Structure 1
Amino acid sequence: MDNQSKTTTRSKSSFRYCQYEEDRDSPGDARNVLIVVATLIAAVAFQAGVNPPGGVWQDDKDGHKAGRAIYATEKEAYYVFLISNTLALSSSVLVIMYLTYRFPFHLEVLVATASMIVTYGSAVFAVTPKESVRFRYILIAAVVPFAMRLLIRVFVKFRSKS
């Protein structure tokens, strides 16, 4: 067996080893990994929304307004950033809410995540020039993970009755 084949075989086996296996991994361990990953994604997405890449303009010069995202001068790229970042935050918040459901302090987690989403939204609205983005698409991106999960639940319930 040549070195290329050994490397490929070894990487495939380590990839398989890192995958979830019901016989080896407990559901609690899987939940813990998911909550850590979702929390990290939420933290990064929140920070990116509150402090956009490139920062904000510091003064009102050359047609720019202080406090507005510098990145917003690249309208299409900034728009893609906002939609993707909002989708990442919203999806990770959904995972956090699901994984902490019926746990102690779930209500507090719910209040904290809802507050975080409101803070994120207000920060994005504050740093985004009004002419740069259509905010309704950002709101739609925020709702998509919740709507998809609801539709999946309705579909599964409907299928089980059939």
Structure 2
Amino acid sequence: MDQQQYPTMYPSAPPTPGSNMEAGLVATGLPVRRQQQLGGAAPDSRDGWAGNDPNTLIVVATLITALNFLLGLSMPGGYWQTDQIVSDAGSMVPRYRAGDPIMRDLHRPRYWVFRGASWVGVASSMVMTLSLLVRMPVGSRHVLWSFAVAYSSLVLTFIVSQSRTHLSLDIIIWVAVLALIWLVISLHPDHRARVIRVLFCCDRDN
């Protein structure tokens, strides 16, 4: 009985460097991201913020959480060491109690802004950490906004803790920093460079 002859099958040759690299990777079933690790050019979608490593951002978010937590514990002005007793209608009543924040009793609006900034900073950085742990895209607005708010809250807690500053000016500075951070991390590098040149009046075309 004649046996049917089949042509000898040889494994495909490895893709040649250059333009055939991506086609070779697709043919072998490797993801396109492997091409970047082998030296290929990264696509435009991974430029700028989207090209960051999620593991690195998790470390950054953890550090921001720790910093906001420490700032929240370091109350500017400290705490009352003893009760302050005052006379009210012939009776002695405590005006300030030991352990209460001095800033809360003497500068109440500034205290609540400081406390709110530290709370928002911790919450935003924790949201960013959880978002990255559940594999949300690095370039998603959820991650971008949580990073911008958490990072800018460090500036707000710092400037509010300083003495002899106007609270309204501190909030304006915080809004400006928040907008700048959002501008830096959300725009494509080419668009960001163009906007910076326009803002600082250094457009090279002129």
Question: Normalising by the residue count of structure 2, what TM-score does the alignment of the two structures yield?
Answer: 0.34
* Structure of greater Rg: 2
Which one has a larger percent helix, Structure 1 or Structure 2?
A: 1
More strand by share: 2
